[in-house]
Amino acid sequence: MTERTAVAIVGAGPAGLLLSHLLDRAGIASIVIESRSREEVETTIRAGILEQGTVEILRETGASDRVTTTGSRHDGIELRFEGEGHRIDFAASVGRGVWLYPQHEVLKDLIAARTAAGQDLRFGVRAVAVEDAETERPRVIATGPDGERIEIEADVVVGSDGSRGVTRETVTGSHGGFYREYPFAWFGVLCEAPPSAEELIYSNSPDGFALISQRSATVQRMYFQCDPDEDPERFSERELWDILQARVPGTTLNEGPIFQRDVLRFRSFVAHRLRRGRVVLVGDAAHTVPPTGAKGMNLAVADVVLLADALRALLHERDERLLDAYPERALARIWKAQHFSWWMTSMLHVAPDASDFDRRRQVGELRSVVESEHGRAYLAEAYTGWPLAR
């Protein structure tokens, strides 16, 4: 049996869920399928920083109040190098801020809101193919929790199924994308201890990068640069603390039991095409960024804001111009975010083959940022997020 809907959304991450929410507000029906279980989606630990525009969308459209009641506003970060901290004051530089609110909490809020609104949202359903992309009736072929075949025909299929999903290949064919690898990864830990500082610390040290972030008044999230093939179980807790402490010279970390550790590999990637006929990519299906600067989920939200407008025009007014313009409009921001994420990463990490020249140049670069009103303002503007197209 073939089911029918206006928009078939593959993937219930932030992009897919927010899109179904914005479409519903515009009176457009959708079906969202997700291969993982609800529990897995709601508990997988991801990044924690939301741009001001992301927060405004979540609040103004009724997707989440908790983002500002439970989350906390941050008006700056610290860049630390050569044993000294330098504050980048977002409020003073650009009059904007960010919110610390973990991505899995955003997902819980979105799933609760969609469920309460009666959204057709199906977990444990794995897309296996997208067919007829170049017709007005594209179809998603999927497998249900009991192995049953599911076929959904729609006006538009949206691929929000992440960097390992099946929709990307439908859109790009054999063309793949533009990408860049990095010779390091992040070792992430969660520990039971209050934040070591009021704001996040991004630290460059001779031993490599570390980021001291937070989750709550009692839990810290921290990362340090490691080898991409590092074994997360190789270090004792004491060794992890010694590594972290050594990478934030001049400051003292609050220590406590480490209850989670993971190695996060990353790369920069942008698909060669974001649309083929009536199949469109958003979020990590279209692009991934290295984590430094926390652009990943925020970029997905920016794609979705553009696409929701385009789908409204297409499905309510039969006007295809915004859909035609979607790739170019989305890519303008995607490449700015790619640049910012690459820049933060390369400025703060130490490449395994870095020479003395490279090290000294890097400190020069950091000084050019923190000692310049304009340098600080560029960082603040990009970090808090460029305005959304609304």
Please list the active-site residues.
74, 202, 291, 295, 383
161/168 Cα distance (integer angstroms): 8
Q: Which of 113, 294, 314, 348 binds ligand DHB (CB under 6 A)?
A: 294
Q: Which is nearer to ligand DHB, 41 or 211 (CB)?
A: 211
Helical H segments across the chain, by residue range: 14-25, 38-43, 52-60, 66-69, 90-94, 103-116, 167-172, 237-246, 296-317, 321-348, 356-370, 373-384
- If one counts every other C-beta atom within 10 angstroms of the C-beta of residue 9, the result is 31
In degrees, rounded to 5, the angle at the alpha carbon of residue 55 between the alpha carbons of residues 212 and 281 is 95
Q: Which of 16, 291, 327, 385 binds ligand DHB (CB under 6 A)?
A: 291
299 binds ligand DHB (CB under 6 A): no
Q: Which two tokens stand for residue 359?
A: 């090290």
Shortest spacing between CB 211 and ligand DHB, in angstroms? 6
Q: What angle separates helix 321-348 from helix 296-317, to the nearest 10 degrees?
A: 180
Q: Which is nearer to ligand DHB, 269 or 326 (CB)?
A: 269
Q: Which is nearer to ligand DHB, 48 or 138 (CB)?
A: 48
Q: Are 209 and 247 in contact (CB under 8 A)?
A: yes
Binding mask 33-62 for ligand DHB (x = CB under 6 A): --------------xxx-------------
Shortest spacing between CB 222 and ligand DHB, in angstroms? 9
Q: Which is nearer to ligand DHB, 29 or 45 (CB)?
A: 45
Task: Characterize 270-290 residue by residue with b for buried, 16 or more Cβ atoms within 10 angstroms of its Cβ, and e for exposed.
Answer: bbebbbbebbbbbbbbbbbbb
Q: State the number of binding residues for ligand DHB (CB under 6 A).
A: 11
Q: Which is nearer to ligand DHB, 94 or 294 (CB)?
A: 294
Binding mask 197-226 for ligand DHB (x = CB under 6 A): ---x----------x-x-------x-----
Q: Are 331 and 307 in contact (CB under 8 A)?
A: no
Q: Which listed range, 28-36, 81-89, 286-294, 372-380, lies at the site for ligand DHB (CB under 6 A)?
A: 286-294
Short-list 385, 343, 377, CA closest to 90: 377
The DSSP result for 369-383, as a single string, is HHT-HHHHHHHHHHH
Shortest spacing between CB 237 and ligand DHB, in angstroms? 20
Which residues inside 256-285 make contact with ligand DHB, applying CB under 6 A? none
Angular region, 287: left φ>0, alpha ψ -120 to 50, beta rest = beta
Q: Which of 203, 292, 298, 384 binds ligand DHB (CB under 6 A)?
A: 292
Distance of CA 240 to the CA centre of its chain: 26
Q: Which of 293, 299, 301, 315 binds ligand DHB (CB under 6 A)?
A: 293
Which residues inside 326-385 make contact with ligand DHB, applying CB under 6 A? none
HSE value, Cβ hemisphere, 13 Å, CA-based, for 389: 19
Q: Which two tokens stand for residue 235?
A: 């270090």
Shortest spacing between CB 97 and ligand DHB, in angstroms? 14
Q: Which is nearer to ligand DHB, 282 or 348 (CB)?
A: 348
Contacts to ligand DHB by CB under 6 A: 47-49, 200, 211, 213, 221, 291-294
